[in-house]
Amino acid sequence: MLKQKLKNHTLILASGSPRRQDFFKDLDLEFKIEVKPVEEVFPLHLKRSEITDHLSKLKASVFTTLCEKDILITSDTIVWKDDQAIGKPKDKDEAAQMLRNLTGTTHEVYTSVTFTQKNDQRTVNDCTKVWFKELTNEEIDYYIKTYKPYDRAGSYGIQDWIGYIGVEKIEGCFFNVMGLPTRLVYKTLLELAEN
């Protein structure tokens, strides 16, 4: 359905994330992948979705030659807790520290998606609250050793083992925690296709 409406457009997904790529396949969309390196830094005064909005636009800024019918899609996800952004862990120790910080508490996951066309740009974002049970050190160590979650904000994937045993409840979009608020992406692409 949406694929048909977008048949005259070229979707460019600027993401190396296998999960985001799978989402676009599962949405039955034709797209190409093009990733350009960008230093993911943001002004320290930004909070919550201001950070992910900024970073998703920053990732789009390095694409300077879009054609008339191109739709470039960039995205960013962070975990927000204790009034600070938690990104991806650098190593095993940092991953363990992040998970110990999340255990037995609630945090928020923010994802922003920016849609850039030759003469237009719009950004949408979503927030999901996640409640974690008290995780033991053995559970944390097992998860890091087995799943190596170094490419994930907050050092976990809700769709992994840790989500099965550790997440008590969520409020909001499950797929947003995985890195893409799929219903917002679908809705926005539908609007762009009809313009």
DSSP 83: T
Angle value at C-alpha 32, between 178 and 118, nearest 5 degrees: 100
User: Is residue 92 within a helix (H) or strand (E), and if so which, with residue range?
Assistant: helix 92-102
Q: How many CA atoms lie within 13 A of 110 on its CB side?
A: 24
Name the E strands within 9-119.
10-13, 31-33, 70-81, 84-86, 106-117
The per-type count for the chain, helices as H runs and strands as E runs, is 8, 7
d(CA 46, CA 38): 19
Active-site residue set: 76
Q: Are 100 and 81 in contact (CB under 8 A)?
A: no
Q: How many CA atoms lie within 13 A of 149 on its CB side?
A: 27
